[in-house]
Structure 1
């Protein structure tokens, strides 16, 4: 099972959650929201061969943590994974928009300079500006658009720009999310939980809940769950090989 976007450090008991992921032999990309959180979060998975920790600076707090860009650059050589990064166009964040764009542009530049990274990217109400930024830094790495919620036109542009996508149970619970996922290339889809932020029936999702996304993908693709798992494993291998070759 694969969870390409989980906030392990933000669960009520991060150690227990991490240990459960290890026990279940999950592949987890443990994302962070600030560079200063990376070292402690990476320590959670020190002995976990299938957990990777991404260096992030979440757009919703970019205006508060832009002073950590220097630390981001210092840590970047220590991980091939970056996230959660991106842009958020929500009206409540309008005043921070220029700072968000500057921070995102600087992170993409750093990723390019260091040879490219797998990047898990937030694009709520900001798909076009995110894609514009990626188009201006084509060597930044492999962009994985987490919980993509843009328009169909923006989705097609993302596909044309060779973006990947991570989808989870909360996204797939809605008709629109399922319809958008059905249009995504199967060979560029991976599963996620986005826990503990994402919820189903008022309950925070855990990394192992990504299994529910596998079941929905099986329905959307008209195949068995085993074939879905085989596809996802092949996708993950190709993603990691792709970034390793950069």
Structure 2
């Protein structure tokens, strides 16, 4: 089996030189799932770029984007019944400047229901909202749910594991003592790699696609997995075949 690198959570549209990075990712043959934060941005990306074997775009509705309206969510629902990937979506109760808690819960419940029904992959952002998310995921169990940059408790982690969730890990997470201990508790067959570029750094530099190999080396070394690249690629393939 030819093993290739996979980045399950990347924000192409946040880079000024996104056209150049689009070309580089394809040249490097790195499977990359590009997140968006709203239906409008998703549509702009799809119009600007053709999806390739290595680059796919996910339809997003980010809970921290307080400018998003009910009209935007109506647009999201229409697109969600056609999209192949969903993200970045989720709930974030860490600030009262985000979308209201009640709306976030309602939106997330509908998103998870659609993803479970259509069996499509979703990348989920959770902050101070893990308990509510767990109850929703229990009600509408999705088979292809990736928890992005998990920051909850060990108990919440175990519940999400029991619900079949995958977890995308970036190199910045292993530098945080509390987060790194939790990473060790994730079953190896439920781990994926994300960069969350441009919101992370590798060796003090803002993440770029050419640094993904270094991302793998750092996480693999921390987990003490010599066959880390094979493990992640295998998990990625298994997730898509569910």
TM over 0.5: yes
> What is the CA RMSD across the aligned residues, in angstroms?
2.0
In structure 2, the CA distance between the partners of 1:15 and 1:102, relative to structure 1 (3 Å rule), is: same
For normalisation by structure 2, the TM-score amounts to: 0.90
Residue 206 of structure 1 aligns with which residue?
208
Q: Does 1:197 align with 2:199?
A: yes
In structure 2, the CA distance between the partners of 1:231 and 1:133, relative to structure 1 (3 Å rule), is: same
Q: Does 1:223 align with 2:233?
A: no
- Higher fraction of helix: 1
CA shift digits 1:11-59 (9 cap, x unpaired):
1121111111111111000011001111222345415211111111001
* Runs of 4+ in structure 1 over 4 Å off: none
Report how far residue 177 of structure 1 moved.
2.3
CA shift digits 1:147-191 (9 cap, x unpaired):
001011111111111110001122222222221111101111110
> Could you tell me which of 4, 9, 34 is aligned with 1:5?
9
Report how far residue 204 of structure 1 moved.
2.6
CA contact (8 A) 1:167 1:213 kept: no
In structure 2, the CA distance between the partners of 1:35 and 1:233, relative to structure 1 (3 Å rule), is: same
CA contact (8 A) 1:192 1:207 kept: no
User: Alignment length, in residue pairs?
Assistant: 238
Residue 150 of structure 2 aligns with which residue?
148
Task: Identify which range, 92-101 or 157-166, moves more after superposition.
Answer: 92-101
Q: Does 1:137 align with 2:140?
A: yes
Residue 171 of structure 1 aligns with which residue?
173
SS of corresponding position for 2:68: helix
Report how far residue 105 of structure 1 moved.
1.3
Gaps of 5+ in 1: none
Gaps of 5+ in 2: none
Report how far residue 199 of structure 1 moved.
3.5
CA shift digits 1:97-154 (9 cap, x unpaired):
11111111121222234x221110001222221111111111x442100000101111
CA contact (8 A) 2:59 2:87 kept: yes
In structure 2, the CA distance between the partners of 1:47 and 1:103, relative to structure 1 (3 Å rule), is: closer
Q: Does 1:35 align with 2:49?
A: no
Residue correspondence of structure 1 range 39-188 to structure 2 within 5 A: 39-46=43-50, 48-61=52-65, 64-93=68-97, 96-113=100-117, 115-138=118-141, 140-188=142-190
